[in-house]
């Protein structure tokens, strides 16, 4: 079974600074996808960024980028120019690319609470 | 296009009571899932469905039943509520891989359930 580990329960960043959230995972599969979801106080789950394991290029979405290290099974999220609206819980998630129905099954880490200091 | 909707938003039950959490999506997605979120645990998969009439268990299925009679709806039933089922429940939907649509899972707003 796959596991996703987020070992830092909380982090804090100064507004306009850069912060990196860590995530490691364990799998024996070669085809999979990784995601970062944001959950603000409203509780809504919002997809921030996704990465296909077969792509060597790191995904980028505006101020959000990932550092995907496949051999190390590491998938960190970098938030540049942090804004007050970035304060939320962030979840790292894994999805198999190999099984029927895999798209309906995400494995989540425990999450990290990010606070942004003005 | 309402996306994924869940009702109710909040619910309080007594131990032993039964109830159904409703989930509906209007995106014609083949796949639907139920997760529960507990403090310090992240989201864990309860049950999922890859199409009408097809359901399967996730990581934490005990105490819950599901059925999928239509593409749009995927209700979650608590047969005899227990305090351990106090949690926030999320429903999600997504397209089947290779169906031409995005494979992103779209989440509903969640239901906060308290079992006394």
Q: DSSP letters of A15-75?
A: TTS-EEE--EEE-S-SSEEEEEEEE-TT---EEEEEEETT--SPPEETTEEEEEETTTTEE
- Closest alpha carbon within chain B to A96: B97
* Mutate which: A45, A61, A92, A111, vs B, most B CBs within 10 A: A45
Question: Which chain B positions have a beta carbon within 8 Å of A97's beta carbon?
Answer: 97
CA distance A45 to A60: 19
Give contacts of A 51-90 with B, CB under 8 A: none
Residue B97, pLDDT above cutoff 80 = no
Tens of pLDDT, residues B44-54? 999 999 999 99
Q: Which residues of B13-30 are buried (b: 16+ CB within 10 A; e: fewer)?
A: beeeeeeebebbbebebb
Query: Residue A97: what pLDDT?
Result: 80
How would residue B101 be classed by pLDDT, with cut points 50, 70 and 90?
A: low
* CB–CB contact A105 B48 (8 Å): yes
Q: What percent of chain A has pLDDT over 90?
A: 78
Whether residue B90 contacts residue B35, with contact meaning beta carbons closer than 8 Å, is answered with yes
Quick: pLDDT tens for A2-46. 899 999 999 999 999 999 999 999 999 888 999 999 999 999 999
- Integer angstrom CA distances of residue B73 from A104, A111, B91: 15, 29, 10
Residues of B in contact with A107 (CB under 8 A): 45
As given in the structure block, the two tokens for residue B10 are 């909040």
């Amino acid at each position: 079974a796959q596991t996703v580990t987020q070992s830092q329960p909380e982090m804090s960043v100064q507004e306009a600074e850069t912060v990196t959230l860590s995530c490691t995972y364990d799998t024996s599969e070669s085809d999979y996808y990784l995601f970062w979801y944001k959950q603000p106080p409203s509780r809504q789950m919002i997809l921030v960024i996704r990465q296909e394991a077969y792509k060597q290029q790191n995904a980028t979405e505006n101020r959000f980028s990932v550092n995907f290290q496949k051999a190390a099974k590491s998938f960190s999220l970098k938030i540049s120019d942090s804004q007050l609206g970035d304060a939320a819980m962030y979840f790292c998630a894994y999805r198999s690319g190999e099984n029927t129905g895999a798209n309906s099954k995400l494995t989540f880490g425990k999450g990290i609470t990010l606070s942004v200091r003005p | 296009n309402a996306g994924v909707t869940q009702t109710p938003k909040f619910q309080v039950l007594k131990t032993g009571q039964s109830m159904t959490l409703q989930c509906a999506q209007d995106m014609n997605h083949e796949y639907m899932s139920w997760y529960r979120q507990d403090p310090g645990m992240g989201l864990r998969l309860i049950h999922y469905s890859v199409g009408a009439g097809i359901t399967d268990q996730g990581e934490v299925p005990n105490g819950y039943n599901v059925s999928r009679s239509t593409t749009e709806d995927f209700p979650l039933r608590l047969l005899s509520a227990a305090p351990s089922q106090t949690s926030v429940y999320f429903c999600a939907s997504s397209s089947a891989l290779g169906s031409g649509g995005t494979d992103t899972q779209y989440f509903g707003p969640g239901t906060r359930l308290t079992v006394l």
